[in-house]
Amino acid sequence: MPSPLVEATSGALGSLLTCVLLYPVDLCKTRIQSGRSDQGVGATALAIARAEGVGALLSGLSPKAVHTVVQNFLYFYAYEYLKRALLGGVLERGSFAGNTVCGVGAGISNMTVTLPLEALTVRAQNAGGRESLAATAAQLLREGPASMWMGFTASSILTLNPAINFAIFDALKARALALLSARAGRPVRSLSAGRAFLLGSLSKVVATLVTYPLIRTKVMMQAAAKGAQDGEPRPTMAQTLLTIIRTEGAAGLYRGCGAQIATAVSKSGILLMSKEQLARYALALILLLRSHKRSKMIATAGLAPSA
């Protein structure tokens, strides 16, 4: 079984790949969720390119890439560590509830570190190139911890999203590997790229539909945090949720959901597909190095003079 370090490294590298490939879609999704655009992803992208230049579709990529890599490394490390520490003891190994609890714990632990990077990313994406990244970061620092960790409550609850996603994926993966092993007549320990993409995408759709109203609420809170500059009180999660319902109706809670699902499903599918492959190669490399080291030790012992 791969170590937490192998899982964390492969997850971080896979997440960086998905971040770069899908960033323009992610940018458009943030503009839609924050209320800056009331069009679809394609129309929003076209409007940004016309008004701000094609380069604006990559505005905020740097903090997003850093946030993505750090977040996923910490998440997967904590997730695998907690599974090894708790499952089979306090919690039932391989159970949906057990994996979900581990996912929530991993999410809260890494979110405390990475939420300021996420807040900076949302600000940069909504700035649309009107101010530099350094100026945006300086403004966020001046506003203090309340803005840097804006949406902490919503984010804490939203740890259910990746927790549900990976718990469903782990359950589906275990079932798929059992079926593949029975069919092959030998143990099958990893999924193919196609199967990993399919299972990762399916699990993300379910997790996103369940938690999307809170996703939109958190983005609205982060995008509106600049109201603090004028001495205005920061809206709570409940107030933001009610404001969305009052101004846009209940359907407003799912505004941008299509873009979110398209982005999240693609990200999750590519992430878990690449993570499975990278973890397989990393494990093979570790085993090869161990075998080489063992062979070297045996050879050295064989050459040593007898007493």
pLDDT in tens, 271-305: 778 777 777 776 666 667 677 667 766 666 655 55
| Residue 181: partners with Cβ closer than 8 Å, 6 or more residues away | 187, 188
DSSP 208: H
**Domain regions of the chain by residue span:** 4-303
Q: Are 150 and 221 in contact (CB under 8 A)?
A: yes
Q: Is the dihedral of CA 181, 184, 187, 192 positive or negative?
A: negative
How many other C-beta atoms are found inside a 10 Å radius of the C-beta of residue 298? 10
Taking the CA atoms of residue 51, residue 52, residue 53 and residue 56 in that order, the dihedral angle to the nearest 10 degrees is -140
Taking the CA atoms of residue 211, residue 212, residue 215 and residue 216 in that order, the dihedral angle to the nearest 10 degrees is -150
CATH 1.10.3720.10 corresponds to the domain 4-303:
no
Which pTM was predicted?
Answer: 0.62
How many other C-beta atoms are found inside a 10 Å radius of the C-beta of residue 177? 16
Which residue has better confidence, 249 or 230? Answer: 249
Question: Which of 54-58, 151-155, 247-251, 257-261 has the least mean pLDDT?
Answer: 151-155
What would the two tokens of residue 130 be?
């009107």
Q: Are 127 and 195 in contact (CB under 8 A)?
A: no
pLDDT in tens, 79-113: 888 888 876 555 555 577 778 888 888 888 888 88
pLDDT at 181: 92
Whole-number Å distance between alpha carbons of 223 and 217: 10
Whole-number Å distance between alpha carbons of 166 and 159: 11
- The CA-to-CA distance between both ends of the chain, in Å, stands at 40
Q: Are 48 and 31 in contact (CB under 8 A)?
A: yes
Q: Are 25 and 41 in contact (CB under 8 A)?
A: yes
Whole-number Å distance between alpha carbons of 94 and 92: 6
Provide mean pLDDT across the span 152-158: 80
Provide mean pLDDT across the span 192-212: 87
Q: Please report, as a single letter, which amino acid is at residue 75.
A: Y
| Residue 185: partners with Cβ closer than 8 Å, 6 or more residues away | none
Residue 143 to residues 111, 118, 134, Cα–Cα distance (Å): 19, 15, 14
Q: Please report, as a single letter, which amino acid is at residue 50.
A: R
pLDDT exceeds 60 at position 126: yes
Whole-number Å distance between alpha carbons of 22 and 65: 11
